[in-house]
Amino acid sequence: MTLSPRSSLLPRLLLRPSTLPRPPAPIRTACRQQWGSRFPGGQQRPQYNHFNRVKQIQYLWYNSPGFRYGAGGVGVGAVGFVGWNLERVPVTGRLRFNCVSPTSEVSMAQQMYEQVLEEYGQRVLPASHPDSKLVHKVLDRLIPASGLQDQQWEVHVIDDKEQKNAFVVPGGKVFVFSGILQTCATESGLAAVLSHEIAHTLAHHSSERLSQLFIVLPIALALSFVFDVSGQISQTALEYAYMRPGSRKQESEADHIGLLMMASVCYDPKEAVGLWQRMEEAEKASGVSVPQFLSTHPSSHNRIDMLRGWLPEAEEIGRRSECGTVGGYVDSFQKAVGRAGNDTDLW
């Protein structure tokens, strides 16, 4: 199971190295003396521009008060901007940076929604199809627990038995590929998939990923300038060191929130473990396995372990939800969502 397409490529134009005026003659001469000497036989040593740029910055820092004040002002402004836009994720209480409003998130996602419809629109099953009815049935049970009834939910079941995939575009646009229904096996298995996807919307993970670009782009530009490396190298380094670990954290968070959500409306949370056991078996059968540190998602094995660790919490929610009448715990879940993580201990 994967999620909505993610925009992980940084604009190459923005990552092109910049240049500064050359430092005064004494520094230039020193660099020539250190790096411009010749090897035995008269061969010229290579010139390393990144050392010159580091020296340029050092020179400006120690000799230009204006440069120090400017750099300090930028630093203080950046820290203030990040601090002003810190918030806690609903339910889990994780502290994160997010400067994209929910309204902007939905507006930007509209283009993605139109693109997906353009690509798969001819293969969307009608609302009268049994698969569409099943997805509608599960969603109708989960959405009241999420507190997201105000969104305009639309269900699109795509007739593609090869793809085991589902995702929710911000704004309540649900896409389920028919191939994942067999892996779900039961209604509770499908609830595990859909509650995970709804959890991404509830936690505004898309806007968090967009916000990360405000951190990644300046760092990539700085690395490109100081070390004179190509933008592609900076992008790749930040992708694997920062963006992908962050994506795996969001996936685990959606697993956690989704597990509690499905338990709150009386779906069996153990079915989430069963779902990922079947996903792991399918991966082994296909022979396709990506090391976790290279992936945007946790490995199926690790997801199973984490879900098992959260089961006691989910089962307690199920016991308190009066599942014989369905809905006794929904109000508590909505209150937890409304608090938006002001307290980390929500239950």
Q: How many Cα neighbours within 13 Å face the side chain of 141?
A: 25
Determine phi and psi for 230, rounding to 5 degrees.
Answer: -70, 155
- Specify whether 197 is catalytic: yes
Instruction: Report the C-alpha gap between 112 and 108 in whole angstroms.
Output: 8
Contact 160, 181 (CB under 8 A): no
State the Cα–Cα distance between residues 166 and 191, nearest whole angstrom: 12
Query: Cα(136)–Cα(298) distance, rounded to whole angstroms?
Result: 28
| CA end-to-end distance (rounded Å), the chain | 28
Which residue in the list 105, 162, 187, 197 is annotated as catalytic? Answer: 197
C-alpha span between 296 and 246 (Å, rounded): 8
Residues in the chain, overall count: 347
CA 43, CA 252: separation in Å to the nearest integer? 56
β partners of residue 174: 155, 168
β-bridge partners, 310: none
CA distance 308 to 297: 18
Residues noted as catalytic: 197
